[in-house]
Amino acid sequence: MEEKSGWLEFRLSGEDEGRPVGNILRSKYGFSRGMLRKLKRWQGVTLNGEPVRLKDGGRENDVIRVTLRHKEESWIMPQDLPLDVLYEDDDLLIVDKKPGTLVHPMSYEDSGTVANAVLYRWSQQGIEARFRPVFRLDRHTSGLLMVAKNSFANHRMVEQLHTQNLRRRYFAVAQGIIAEDAGVLDYPIAMDPGSGGKRTVSPDGKVALTRFRVLERFTGLTLLCLELETGRTHQIRVHLSQKGFPLCGDTLYGGETTLIDRQALHSAELRFLSPRRGQEVTVTSTMPGDIKDLLSLKNR
């Protein structure tokens, strides 16, 4: 497989001869049915430089070229805003999100978000693509956020979320002293009826698993490293609250704001396989100043 910024090339082997192009892309290279439908609409696949139907076959040493980028319109307004980029390649952008910033515009707030800033950056690079966050972070959660630059990368990374090849680690400060040095929080999560978005632990909820490890204990607080096995909305916040140790500053789930005015949660590490080459990549983010200040107050 040869890769360029906006396309991929595959040279057919003997075992590929006669097989439909769409079948090869799906079974051998991981293209989803949805991606193949888009490629069909875009006429985004060629065989030896000529347009080809996905049901057509080829011969050994024929070259399939797949277009990854297609002009996509977005309703989100690009804005020249600060953007702390920690990693970028042809498929992915990873930014260090500041606390208090929305990932995506909402009906009541359509500017000043990560999406606005990313689309401005892409407009300066000549990239016309949709904003595709691989996962979301709450407004007041800081740290690493991954954005896919094309549907191929987005599909591959969401797939990794489900297979655990994409690992997410967080720093968190919980109220109280957690006695165990490590453990697993296993509480199913569901919507809290009539709460306007709050989640709750319920036997009818979706499976949710969070691994935790104590990094340090302070006066009345515990610094944790947590790793998500699943990605439910508010998962860490709900799990720690259910255990009896809510996040410091998380008033929605029982935390107090006397020491910090947002939930003390930071997306600190992403480890994944690059969508094209499958090489392992690790990106880290240092603990933000407000959480450091919180811990220094309790360490005096």
Domain limits, the chain: 2-67, 85-298
CATH class of the region 2-67 = alpha beta
User: b/e for 89-128, b at 16 or more Cβ within 10 A?
Assistant: ebbbbbbbbebebbbebeeeeeeebbbbbbbbbbeeeebe
Q: What pLDDT sits at residue 1? A: 47
* Span 118-127, average pLDDT: 92
Q: Which tens digits make up the pLDDT trace of 248-260? A: 999 999 999 999 9
Q: Which candidate, 135, 253, 236, places its Cα nearest to that of 185?
A: 236
The CATH number, out of the four listed (3.40.50.720, 3.40.640.10, 3.30.2350.10, 2.40.30.10), of the domain defined by the range 85-298: 3.30.2350.10
Determine which one of 16, 91, 96, 138 is catalytic.
Answer: 138
Q: How confident is the model at residue 84 (pLDDT cuts 50, 70, 90)?
A: very high
Q: How confident is the model at residue 122 (pLDDT cuts 50, 70, 90)?
A: very high
Q: What pLDDT sits at residue 202? A: 94
Q: How confident is the model at residue 300 (pLDDT cuts 50, 70, 90)?
A: low
* Span 123-129, average pLDDT: 87
Q: What pLDDT sits at residue 197? A: 84
Q: What pLDDT sits at residue 71? A: 63
Token pair recorded at residue 40:
């069909």
Q: In the block, which residue shows the tokens 């090489």?
A: 279
Q: How confident is the model at residue 90 (pLDDT cuts 50, 70, 90)?
A: confident
Asked if 152 and 275 touch (Cβ cutoff 8 Å), the reply is yes
Question: Which residues make Cβ contacts (< 8 Å) with residue 137, sequence separation at least 6?
Answer: 97, 103, 143, 145, 267
Express as a percent the part of the chain with pLDDT over 90: 61
Q: What pLDDT sits at residue 164? A: 83
Q: How confident is the model at residue 19 (pLDDT cuts 50, 70, 90)?
A: confident
Asked if 50 and 38 touch (Cβ cutoff 8 Å), the reply is no
Token pair recorded at residue 63:
């070259």
Average pLDDT of the chain? 90
Helix (H) or strand (E) holding 273: strand 265-273
Q: Which tens digits make up the pLDDT trace of 53-72? A: 888 888 888 888 887 766 66
pLDDT(273) > 90: yes
pLDDT(173) > 90: yes
Instruction: Give yes or no: 293 in active site.
Output: no
Helix (H, G, I), strand (E, B) or coil at 246: coil
Distance separating alpha carbons of residues 73 and 16, to the nearest angstrom: 36
Q: Which tens digits make up the pLDDT trace of 99-108? A: 999 999 988 8
